[in-house]
Chain A
Amino acid sequence: MNELFGMFQGLISGFGIALTLNNLTFALLGALLGTVVGILPGLGPAATISLLLPLSFKIGDPITSIIMMAGIFYGAMYGGSTTSILVNIPGEAASVVTCIDGYQMALKGRAGPALGIAAIGSFIAGTLGVIGLTFVAPPLAEFALKFGPPEYFSLTILGLLMASLLGGSSILKGLIMIVLGLLLGSVGLDPISGAIRFTWGFFLLQEGVDFVTLAMGLFGVGEILYNLEKELKTELVTRKISHLWPTLKDWAESKWAIVRGSFIGFFVGILPGGGAVISSLVSYAVEKKVSKHPEEFGKGAIQGVAGPESANNSAASASFIPLLTLGIPGNAAIAMIFAALLIQGVQPGPFLITERADVFWGVVASMYIGNAMLLILNLPMVGMWVQLLRVPYAILAPIIVLFCCIGVYSVRNTVFDIWIMGIFGVFGYLLRKLDFEPGPMILAFVLGPILERSLRQALLISAGSPLIFFKRPISGTLMGFLILFILFQIFMVLRKRRTGIKEESS
């Protein structure tokens, strides 16, 4: 009871912080920017936040800059659906499944209700997600205080493995990305002994590869180069959007989809390596299974829009939980926010809620406000945003690249970093071309130092015995999960192979 009281007290003080004019302005700015990048295909929230990382030096206050970046992240979840429904191109990755039924609804002249239910579902789920965050995060952080280096090592390994499994097309490629990311993270001075590694004689590499440079190269430049190949044409289905408010029948059909989506999103969002993209896929599959008329899916079923759109929003809120309580980001966009916190000198982790209660509660409270702002931005004003789709990519692309150049330059005032970014840009482009996901790589890059430090500290504690990861109760449980997980995957691969051989022989 006492703890519950503490949470309410924290929340109230958080609203006190979030409701200052300055923070409200930046929350609105974040929501606006998020909606814009959500709507524009070929520019995701991770890239946008990385663009703004250098600027976060200028904003100064960590609370304000995180409020804005969080706004971009969940704002993009709102905006993405608009493009999916009207153009049949996902505005960002978490809205891929919304294309299936959303676009069909638009073709049938029901673009209005589709957009409406997406926005309302997003709002309900987003808010439920933040409520979950409010009540789950503090006890979890308290629990995480018991974690030592072995626990952190096990948790990070588990998270990275899950990210490689859930992230992309193939597990093997995901694993390769993770190993590469970890290696990149080890460039520079060794965290414990101070020895120089992998600098190839470049003095400027001694501080390691800068996160901003890597992120902008991989997500900014890499994505633009990739998109240059094909010409992105955005043709709208309809110009007129009417009946945004869903009818009673629409509402009755989709209300349980929204609730289910919210819960799925929340639990997938907490998982390390989980996140908005996967949650929307899971939700779509569940809706199809639960529905009494599964044949309507793919032909404009409103549940196929309501479920996934709710799921990605509540997942976006929930993925702040591992970041703010354990200091372990679960996906690429959250990894950017992790970097932003570090830049501002705030160490994300179990101590955050007690030591920087203002940051935690301020950001949480701003998320309640931000979701309300986004509902207003996306319901009555959706017509305005649609106009944005008319701005050709031809004009946006060079401007984004310029932003990357200047942003990278401004971190250390060297042209050297622009070169490095260019190299990562080419690398990111080739990765996309070869069907590798850059997301797990950036995650591994961020987690690399945590992983290495905890591994070596743990081995120091145990005097070199790796059994320490299995002997301690929490770490042991996590390792148990890890082994079960690997066994399960091997089993699946073997079963697939066996049935494959059977099919071939028969």
Chain B
Amino acid sequence: MAAWGSTHLSMGRFKHPGPGFLPFGLGLCLIILSLILIFKNLGRSPFPLPFWPQRTWLRPMLGLVILTFYAFFINHLGFILTTFIFLMIWMGLIERLRKKTVLIISLGTTAALYLLFVFFLEIPLPLGFLKW
């Protein structure tokens, strides 16, 4: 916990002239509060140990990787393909559902999302080469 508080310290030192009045005050508050937190937890283990028992970090990590993939490729591959791949990977890899289920749900969801966002709400999503 204490380590967590200290990571914010660097954020607290920015000061801009003029309009920096409140942010500077807040930064000061943050430094003080973090110090109190560190002080309070002094001598105690900084993290609830083990922080990630038994590889529990794996699934959130995978989720994050897929999300990054989505942000990275949506402009290149287009909304439809990226969404489909996203769903396939998520349900196939993280949740390990049956392949047939994954395929059907991915297809259905992609179609439903396309209808909802592109057709009804007319949001200009990037369509990539699947444009029509």
Contact = CB atoms under 8 A, between A and B. Distances in A.
Interface string B40-54: 100000010001100
Nearest to A177: B33
A198 B95 CA distance: 39
A394 B97 contact: yes
Nearest to B17: A195
Nearest to A200: B14
A183 B87 contact: no
Contact of B113 (A58, A183, A402, A456): A402
Nearest to A434: B4
A176 interface: yes
A419 interface: yes
Contacts of B59: 228-229
Given A58-B121, A173-B37, A197-B20, A418 B71 contact: yes
Interface in B48-78: 51-52, 56-57, 59-60, 63-64, 67-68, 70-71, 74-75
Among B20, B22, B47, B79, the most chain A Cβ lie within 10 Å of the Cβ of B22
Interface string A430-456: 100111000000000000000110011
B115 interface: no
A211 interface: no
Contacts of B27: 183
A343 to B, nearest CB: 15
A434 B18 CA distance: 35
Interface in B84-132: 86-87, 90-91, 94-95, 97, 105, 109, 113, 117, 121, 123-125
Contacts of B60: 225-226, 228-229, 429
Given A176-B37, A183-B11, A402-B87, A195 B121 contact: no
A197 B75 contact: no
A273 B55 CA distance: 37
Given A180-B8, A229-B59, A401-B67, A197 B16 contact: yes
A198 B91 contact: no
Contact of A397 (B51, B56, B57, B90): B90
A422 B86 contact: no
A484 interface: no
Nearest to A420: B71
Given A182-B26, A183-B30, A395-B91, A228 B18 contact: no
A221 B90 CA distance: 14
A398 B90 contact: yes
A182 B64 CA distance: 27
A474 B34 CA distance: 33
B19 A190 contact: yes
A395 to B, nearest CB: 6
Contacts of B52: 229
B37 to A, nearest CB: 6
B71 A419 contact: yes
A426 interface: yes
A399 interface: yes
Given A195-B16, A394-B97, A406-B123, A225 B5 contact: no
13 contacts: A180-B30, A182-B26, A183-B23, A190-B19, A229-B52, A398-B86, A398-B90, A399-B87, A415-B71, A418-B71, A425-B64, A451-B22, A456-B21
In the A-B complex, the 8 residue pairs with the smallest Cβ-Cβ separation, listed nearest first, are: A394-B95, A190-B19, A398-B90, A418-B71, A228-B59, A225-B60, A410-B123, A195-B19
Interface of B: 1, 4-5, 8, 11, 14, 16, 18-23, 26-27, 29-30, 33-34, 36-37, 40, 47, 51-52, 56-57, 59-60, 63-64, 67-68, 70-71, 74-75, 79, 83, 86-87, 90-91, 94-95, 97, 105, 109, 113, 117, 121, 123-125
Given A172-B36, A422-B67, 13 more contacts: A175-B33, A183-B11, A183-B30, A225-B60, A395-B91, A401-B67, A402-B83, A406-B123, A406-B125, A409-B125, A413-B124, A418-B67, A451-B22
